[in-house]
């Protein structure tokens, strides 16, 4: 970790050889234009830190996000704008250290410690700060399997402390993250911020870390992702790579049934079956468990057996209200979502198939919102029936997720303006066969009032591969595919193990490869399966565009200049 931070600092300090232009009174030919920075104090309140080899283990990780696009569950950001890690040795200057090679975690009363921090460089803008203390010293910012807090870590940020105090113990509580403005407003009427010629310092920002996380990240794998199927081609897998055959597909013109007026087990089951669904299982398959959990290997996941033999599993519990599109069905944690990955069918740009489209600000961010079910059933997912907290009754060895046939398309450069919600159909026949005619699938005006939605359009869905994520109220999340399931460009190809094991290895640089976390673990949106469906997508616009793009609103395909 310290080596990485030193490398980042050295990169920022290196300048090209030759003549350095002087500040020429506004012509701004300087090599490095003025930037901003955020400076403040991080205060830790929690258990005494662990130590070994004479050093405190862990770091206070301070992450900065665009105020208008925080990470899930509040937003869609797939990564921080910037971050800094304050080493435990700096934060806990007066804390005794164990000189032994084994990890020592003392008990006793909570301690308070503080240290200054600086995050730089920063562009002009308004930001929020989330933070956590990485108690096990496992944080690694560039790997999805190690870039978020785990069980036992201490969470916080620059928050409304009084409001957080009032909601202590409420596991569904979402802290109020306070804004940090970097720059000065252009005018009273124009709230946009600029950084002047001398830069800008957002100073005296107090970050508090004091909420210990009670459970692990929601580790999962899609049922069947560990298996090696026969070769099969799709638009996003034209070579038919068996390790890239998607675990679940949905056509871009997918047609739901409408919710029945007569609610019976039969009609609700028919409605549920009209969705595309996937089963997400806790942890990893048994054949991958040792490689995934061994602390001497790269991953070291906190995967315990599910009940009744253990206390591991996915907590499925109420988010405090119903779904926006059906007042009878409870909105549940973990929140499920699917994010479109960049189009790279031959995997020349992104060999592991991990990069989210829009994360580089060059294309729309496209997301599908999932519906998490309790006990695999809409009938059992009513507001009154589901657990209200992450109790033993909420702990499951798997969860079923329905994929809504709708995408939210956003401009990652300006998420605050909201996105365009696109769905292929506004009406459908009822899930109750006795009802005659077409029924509305939803209330477009009500959906347009949902956070993040500025407009609802009829259209076919953007083709491509979509990652799958589960997110808890704490911000702890798990996403597939991730780095554990494939090899990077310098690591070589995947050498598959013999027999039934789904753990392979990289050919150039040996390390375990967990196929359950790999490139099969996606939802792929594919072209219509019928000629009628293809004709329907073509009928939605008059532009001559490639097949697959016909009927897809332009907001989902490209950004405005």
User: Of 152, 178, 212, which closes a domain?
Assistant: 212
Q: What is the pTM of this model?
A: 0.91
Which parts of 302-349 are beta strand (E)? 314-315, 317-323, 326-333, 335-340
388 and 306 part of one domain: yes
pLDDT-above-70 percentage for the chain: 93
291 and 167 part of one domain: no
Stretch 42-68: mean pLDDT: 97
Predicted local confidence at residue 511, as pLDDT: 92
Per-residue model confidence as pLDDT tens digits over 338-380: 999 999 999 899 999 999 999 988 999 999 999 999 999 999 9
Token digits of residue 349: 């740009």
Stretch 454-470: mean pLDDT: 97
DSSP H helix total and E strand total for the chain: 7, 33
As for how many domains the chain has, the answer is 2
Q: What is the DSSP string of 238-274?
A: TT--GGGS-SEEEETT--PPBPPSS--HHHHHHHHHT
Please indicate, yes or no, if residue 557 is contained in any of the structural domains. Answer: no
pLDDT of 269 strictly over 90: yes
188 and 291 part of one domain: no
Stretch 52-62: mean pLDDT: 97
pLDDT-above-90 percentage for the chain: 75
Q: Where does 368-511 have alpha helices with state H?
A: 444-448
Per-residue model confidence as pLDDT tens digits over 474-487: 999 999 999 999 99
Predicted local confidence at residue 229, as pLDDT: 87
Q: Where does 34-179 have alpha helices with state H?
A: 88-91, 161-166
Phi, psi of 286 (to 5 degrees): -55, -35
157 and 288 part of one domain: no
How far apart, in whole angstroms, are the C-alpha atoms of residue 423 and residue 463? 13
Stretch 244-248: mean pLDDT: 97
Among 3-7, 353-357, 534-538, whose mean pLDDT is lowest?
Answer: 3-7
284 and 227 part of one domain: yes
310 and 191 part of one domain: no
- In this structure, what is the dihedral angle of CA atoms 384, 389, 391, 396, given to the nearest 10 degrees? 70
Predicted local confidence at residue 555, as pLDDT: 96
Token digits of residue 468: 């799958």
Stretch 453-466: mean pLDDT: 96
139: containing domain: 2-10+19-212
The DSSP letter of residue 109 is S
Provide CB contacts within 8 A for 14, sequence distance 6+. none
Stretch 64-88: mean pLDDT: 94
Stretch 457-482: mean pLDDT: 97
Which parts of 23-139 are beta strand (E)? 36-46, 51-52, 55-56, 59-66, 82-87, 111-122, 125-133
Provide CB contacts within 8 A for 313, sequence distance 6+. 282, 306, 307, 395, 396, 397
288 and 402 part of one domain: yes
User: Of 172, 191, 212, which closes a domain?
Assistant: 212
- 62 forms beta bridges with 84, 131
Predicted local confidence at residue 499, as pLDDT: 57
Q: How confident is the model at residue 435 (pLDDT cuts 50, 70, 90)?
A: very high
Q: What is the mean pLDDT of the chain?
A: 90
Q: Which residue has the higher pLDDT, 182 or 414?
A: 182
Stretch 407-430: mean pLDDT: 95
Q: Where does 49-155 have alpha helices with state H?
A: 88-91
* Residues 312, 403, 250: CA angle, nearest 5 degrees: 125
Per-residue model confidence as pLDDT tens digits over 304-320: 998 888 889 999 999 99
201 and 238 part of one domain: no
Q: Where does 94-207 have alpha helices with state H?
A: 161-166
Rg of the chain, C-alpha, whole Å: 25
Token digits of residue 84: 């800094």
- 186 forms beta bridges with none
Provide CB contacts within 8 A for 340, sequence distance 6+. 356, 357, 358, 365, 366, 367, 407, 462, 464, 465, 466
188 and 314 part of one domain: no
230 and 203 part of one domain: no
Cβ contact 87:236 at 8 Å:
no
Per-residue model confidence as pLDDT tens digits over 381-395: 999 899 999 999 999
How far apart, in whole angstroms, are the C-alpha atoms of residue 172 and residue 432? 35
How far apart, in whole angstroms, are the C-alpha atoms of residue 207 and residue 59? 14
Q: How confident is the model at residue 546 (pLDDT cuts 50, 70, 90)?
A: confident
Phi, psi of 502 (to 5 degrees): -105, 15
Kindly report whether the peptide bond that precedes residue 57 is cis, defined as omega within 30 degrees of 0. Answer: no
Predicted local confidence at residue 31, as pLDDT: 60
Stretch 289-294: mean pLDDT: 94
Stretch 163-177: mean pLDDT: 87
Provide CB contacts within 8 A for 530, sequence distance 6+. none
Stretch 538-542: mean pLDDT: 87
Predicted local confidence at residue 8, as pLDDT: 33
Stretch 121-133: mean pLDDT: 97
Of 224, 250, 221, the residue nearest 236 (C-alpha):
250
Provide CB contacts within 8 A for 232, sequence distance 6+. 240, 242, 245
Q: How confident is the model at residue 9 (pLDDT cuts 50, 70, 90)?
A: very low
298 and 341 part of one domain: yes
Q: Which residue has the higher pLDDT, 416 or 88?
A: 88
Q: What is the three-class DSSP state of 146? A: helix
Please indicate, yes or no, if residue 559 is contained in any of the structural domains. Answer: no
Among 276-285, 406-415, 437-446, whose mean pLDDT is lowest?
Answer: 437-446
Distances (CA, A) of 267 to 263, 426, 520, 545: 6, 20, 33, 39
Q: What is the three-class DSSP state of 526? A: strand
Predicted local confidence at residue 33, as pLDDT: 82
Predicted local confidence at residue 558, as pLDDT: 95
Please indicate, yes or no, if residue 363 is contained in any of the structural domains. Answer: yes
Cβ contact 284:301 at 8 Å:
yes
User: Of 169, 193, 212, which closes a domain?
Assistant: 212
Predicted local confidence at residue 449, as pLDDT: 79
202 and 303 part of one domain: no
Per-residue model confidence as pLDDT tens digits over 521-531: 999 999 999 99
Query: What's the number of CA atoms in the CB half-sphere (13 Å) around residue 105?
Result: 10
Please indicate, yes or no, if residue 560 is contained in any of the structural domains. Answer: no
Predicted local confidence at residue 501, as pLDDT: 54
Stretch 441-453: mean pLDDT: 84
Stretch 123-138: mean pLDDT: 96
Token digits of residue 149: 């807090």
pLDDT of 102 strictly over 70: yes
pLDDT of 13 strictly over 70: no
């Amino acid at each position: 970790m310290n080596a990485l931070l030193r490398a980042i600092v050295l990169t920022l300090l290196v300048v090209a050889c030759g003549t350095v232009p002087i500040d020429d009174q506004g012509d701004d030919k300087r090599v490095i234009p003025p930037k901003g920075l955020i400076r403040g104090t991080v205060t830790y309140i929690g258990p005494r830190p662990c130590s070994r080899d004479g050093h405190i283990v862990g770091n206070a990780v301070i992450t900065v996000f665009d105020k208008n696009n925080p990470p899930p569950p509040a937003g869609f950001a797939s990564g921080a704008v910037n971050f800094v890690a304050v080493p435990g040795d700096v934060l806990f200057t007066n804390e005794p250290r164990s000189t032994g090679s084994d990890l020592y975690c003392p008990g006793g009363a909570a301690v308070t410690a503080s240290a200054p921090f600086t995050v730089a460089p920063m562009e002009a803008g308004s930001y929020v700060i989330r933070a956590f203390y990485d108690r096990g010293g496992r944080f690694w910012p560039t790997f999805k399997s190690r870039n978020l807090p785990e069980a036992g870590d201490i969470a916080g940020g620059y928050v409304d402390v009084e409001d957080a105090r009032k909601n202590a113990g409420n596991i569904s509580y979402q802290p109020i993250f306070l804004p940090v403005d970097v720059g000065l407003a252009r005018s009273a009427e124009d709230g946009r911020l600029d950084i002047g010629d001398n830069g800008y310092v957002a100073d005296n920002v107090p970050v508090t870390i004091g909420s210990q996380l009670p459970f692990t990240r929601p580790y999962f794998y899609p049922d069947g992702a560990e298996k090696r199927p026969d070769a099969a081609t799709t638009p996003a897998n034209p070579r038919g790579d068996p390790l890239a055959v998607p675990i679940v597909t949905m056509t871009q013109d997918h047609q739901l049934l409408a919710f029945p007026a007569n609610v019976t087990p039969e009609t609700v089951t028919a409605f549920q079956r009209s969705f595309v669904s996937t089963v997400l299982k806790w942890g990893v398959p048994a054949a991958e468990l040792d490689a995934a959990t061994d602390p001497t290997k790269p991953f070291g996941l906190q995967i315990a057996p599910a009940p009744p033999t253990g206390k591991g599993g996915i907590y499925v519990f109420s988010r405090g209200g119903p779904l926006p599109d059906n007042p009878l069905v409870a909105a549940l944690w973990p929140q499920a979502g699917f994010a479109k990955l960049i189009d790279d069918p031959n995997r020349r740009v992104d060999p592991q198939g991990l990069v989210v489209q829009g994360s580089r600000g060059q294309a729309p961010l496209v997301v599908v919102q999932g519906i998490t079910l309790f006990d695999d059933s809409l009938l059992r997912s009513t507001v009154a029936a589901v657990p209200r907290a992450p109790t033993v009754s909420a702990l499951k060895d798997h969860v079923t997720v329905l994929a809504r046939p709708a995408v939210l398309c956003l401009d990652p450069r300006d998420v605050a303006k909201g996105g365009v919600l696109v769905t292929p159909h506004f009406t459908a026949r009822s899930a109750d066969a006795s009802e005659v005619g077409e029924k509305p699938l939803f209330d477009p005006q009500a959906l347009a009032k949902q956070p993040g939605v500025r407009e609802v359009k009829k259209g076919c869905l953007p083709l491509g591969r979509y990652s799958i994520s589960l997110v808890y109220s704490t911000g702890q999340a798990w996403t597939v595919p991730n780095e554990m399931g494939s090899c990077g460009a310098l690591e070589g190809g995947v050498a598959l193990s013999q027999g039934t094991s789904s753990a392979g290895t990289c050919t150039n640089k040996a390390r375990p490869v967990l196929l359950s976390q790999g490139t099969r673990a996606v939802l792929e949106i594919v072209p219509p399966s019928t000629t009628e469906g293809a004709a329907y997508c073509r009928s939605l616009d008059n532009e001559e565009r490639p097949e697959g793009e016909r009927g897809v609103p332009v907001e989902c395909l490209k950004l405005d200049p």
